């Protein structure tokens, strides 16, 4: 008879599953944004210096991020169901996780709402800044538009590359890479070779340009920038999956145990929680120090050496900053005392 997976095993599997699926959902959302662009209207608005009309042609709205919002909700529900599956049978027989519970529904609505609102507002502001800069510089309207929304691939028929979907720092990386690849300066070209998300298949092209003291031809450089941008979007999706998707799973685990307490099956004092740090040399120093920390009940937070308080890894409800949560890979175990 197969052994029942432990709670930590089960939640590692959920983290892996939704780590992939949330990242893919983010990329689908970015593709939705790019496919919804009215390119000719955008180019004409840039030519006319009409910033508002240019922004309207991009159609950046919440609906484009629906795949991501749905996947975050799925992760939350799976987390709650996984928590029930890993509970001791003595206290969970006949018990089911209820995602429609007022508290649970409110949490996921606020969490996913804040995430999508932040992404939409960020895209709009960064697009505004980029377009305004291009207009102020008198850059060619078509080039500005293509650099923002990407170029249509002959292979896929879809827009690839561009700046849509990238974080602020990532946009700066792409802009810098574009300058490096357009230059014949060996120093700039060598710096491009330090970019970890570049497409290494073009390294020989860069090395040849350095050796010959020539710039890379425009079409090849454009393709290289497109590949670099695409890989950075993939990276951002992975970071969002760890920073947003996994906390949804962990929050649902908490909610499932709270529902168990509300149902009168156990007392909150019977619950013990532990912090588990991924020990692979890439963990935060603060989280390394938290490994093995335990607390009693569901309302007592874990405390980081930085002073930050977290109900579970990735939690921001008590004010933990980005330095404690972004791409966190730690986990939390919740157990019921045997006496209960």
Mean pLDDT of 196-211: 96
Percent of the chain whose predicted confidence (pLDDT) is above 90: 87
Report residue 310: phi and psi, to 5°. -140, 135
> Among 248, 196, 206, which residue's Cα sits nearest to residue 78?
248
What is the distance in angstroms between the CA of the first residue and the CA of the last residue of the chain? Answer: 27
SS3 143: helix
Query: In this structure, what token pair is assigned to residue 159?
Result: 């827009």
Report pLDDT for 61: 96
pTM, two decimal places: 0.90
pLDDT band at 73 (very low <50, low <70, confident <90, very high): very high
pLDDT in tens, 171-186: 999 999 999 999 999 9
pLDDT in tens, 90-144: 899 999 999 999 999 999 999 999 999 999 999 999 999 999 999 999 999 999 9
Mean pLDDT of 163-178: 96
Please check the confidence at residue 339 and state whether its pLDDT lies above 80: no
Report pLDDT for 1: 44
The set of residues, in sequence order, having a beta carbon less than 8 Å from that of 331 and lying 6+ positions away, is 8, 11, 12, 15, 250, 276, 278, 313
Helix residue spans in 215-276 (DSSP H): 218-240, 246-262
pLDDT in tens, 230-274: 999 999 999 999 888 999 999 999 999 999 999 999 999 999 999
pLDDT band at 280 (very low <50, low <70, confident <90, very high): confident
Query: In this structure, what token pair is assigned to residue 62?
Result: 């919440």
Report pLDDT for 80: 96
Sign of CA dihedral 149, 155, 156, 157: positive
Please check the confidence at residue 340 and state whether its pLDDT lies above 50: yes
Give the angle subtended at the CA of 277 by the CAs of 16 and 253, to the nearest 5°.
55
The H or E element spanning position 272 is strand 271-276
Report pLDDT for 107: 94
SS3 332: strand
Mean pLDDT of 58-84: 96
Query: In this structure, what token pair is assigned to residue 133?
Result: 């800069």
**β-strand partners of 275:** 332
Report pLDDT for 3: 64
Residue with tokens 């070209």: 189
Rounded (10°) CA dihedral 306, 309, 314, 316: -110
**Measured CA distances, 71 to 20, 21, 23 (Å):** 11, 7, 9
Please check the confidence at residue 282 and state whether its pLDDT lies above 90: no
Q: What would you report as the CA-atom Rg of the chain, rounded to the nearest whole angstrom? A: 24
- What is the distance between the alpha carbons of residues 301 and 316, in angstroms, rounded to a whole number? 11
* CA 337 from centroid of its chain's CA atoms: 36
């Amino acid at each position: 008879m197969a052994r029942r997976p432990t709670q930590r095993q089960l939640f590692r599997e959920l983290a892996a599953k939704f780590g992939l699926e949330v990242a893919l959902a983010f990329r689908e959302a970015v593709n939705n944004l790019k496919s919804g662009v009215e390119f000719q209207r955008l180019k004409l608005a840039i030519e006319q210096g009409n910033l508002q009309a240019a922004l309207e042609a991009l159609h950046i709205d919440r609906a484009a991020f629906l795949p991501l919002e749905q996947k975050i909700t799925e992760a939350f529900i799976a987390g709650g169901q996984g928590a029930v599956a890993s509970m001791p049978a003595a206290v969970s027989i006949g018990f089911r996780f209820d995602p429609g519970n007022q508290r649970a529904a409110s949490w996921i609505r606020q969490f996913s709402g804040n995430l999508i609102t932040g992404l939409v507002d960020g895209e709009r502001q960064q697009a505004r800044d980029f377009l305004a800069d291009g207009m102020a510089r008198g850059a060619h309207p078509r080039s500005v538009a293509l650099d923002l929304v990407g170029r249509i691939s002959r292979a896929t028929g879809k827009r690839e590359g561009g700046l849509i979907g990238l974080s602020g720092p990532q946009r700066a990386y792409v802009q810098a890479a574009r300058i490096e690849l357009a230059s014949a300066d060996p120093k700039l070209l060598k710096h491009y070779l330090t970019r970890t998300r570049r497409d290494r298949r073009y390294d020989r092209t860069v090395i040849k340009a350095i050796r010959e003291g020539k710039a890379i031809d425009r079409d090849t450089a454009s393709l290289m920038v497109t590949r670099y941008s695409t890989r950075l979007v993939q990276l951002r999706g992975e970071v969002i999956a760890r920073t947003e998707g996994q906390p949804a799973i962990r929050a649902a685990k908490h909610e499932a145990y709270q529902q168990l307490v509300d149902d009168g099956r156990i007392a909150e004092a019977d619950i013990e929680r532990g912090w588990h740090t991924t020990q692979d040399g890439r963990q935060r120093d603060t989280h390394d120090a938290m490994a093995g920390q335990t607390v009693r009940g569901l309302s007592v937070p874990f405390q980081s050496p930085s002073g930050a308080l977290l109900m579970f890894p990735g939690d921001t409800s008590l004010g933990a900053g980005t330095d404690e949560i972004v791409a966190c890979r730690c986990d939390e175990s919740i157990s019921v005392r045997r006496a209960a």
